[in-house]
Structure 1
């Protein structure tokens, strides 16, 4: 038996390629001997009827060489394909290895975002709130309504503003409104 049953594609392809190359070399040697014999016949030293038979055999040998070379190319392609599959399989295994880590990081990241959200809410004095918190929404609504009533009184008492201070003053007024 040429191949072991447990051999990889690469091992089997290597053995097959070596056999094909050996057979192609033998076919090349046969072609050389046939061409020499045909040249001998054509030089007039051989029999005339022998030429046609040798020419047919030479044609078969040339076609066989082409077939062996094609097969060698296909076997070599199989070796490259096996190497490609090995690389892709390794890459897929690497991704599978970190998939669990990424899945574990998602809940951790979500918890970290919730903690940051809570910290921001505590720092802003409870005014920053998620939609759905009625108390916080009520405080925000009251804060938005209160400055609108007091704003006209503050504007009357405001000191003169220089042109350089105007953008900052507009920002402050917008914050109050």
Structure 2
């Protein structure tokens, strides 16, 4: 999740995976919008479609989080499953920069970022997105709601997702992610 993005963006891979899973998506073609990720080596992303996700469930360390009616631009050039939630969505979910920094300071006074992985196109997409042009009049908050999901007899069919997540965690660990950031279940 990019905490400074101006627009929520889903990868083409995520949209494809949701369609294959039978999700109901409202796909809208829009005028081209250029997004300029932060970073000298980043490439311009041209978004020509927007998707309204009916229901999106995120599995968190605190339990499932349900997002309804989330509108995201689609970066069709990215095949892996990726999602960038913009700052307005993060704030609606309760994210607060000051609280985050205060909590990090309580944990540790000095954080060493001397060794960092090289930026890849996927990482660059998740950096701050600058909107070059917003040609549609869509209200990003329209129909957006966050709710606690019903946890009744939901099937435990997260096997394929868990495999992808475990591969991503292994990749991050290989790229230098501290082992302290990976909990005993193998997730971040």
Q: TM-score range by the shorter chain?
A: under 0.3
Structure number with the higher strand fraction is 2
Larger gyration radius, structure 1 or structure 2? 1
* TM-score (norm. length: structure 2): 0.16
* TM-score (norm. length: structure 1): 0.17
Structure number with the higher helix fraction is 1
Higher relative contact order (CA 8 A, sep 6+): 2
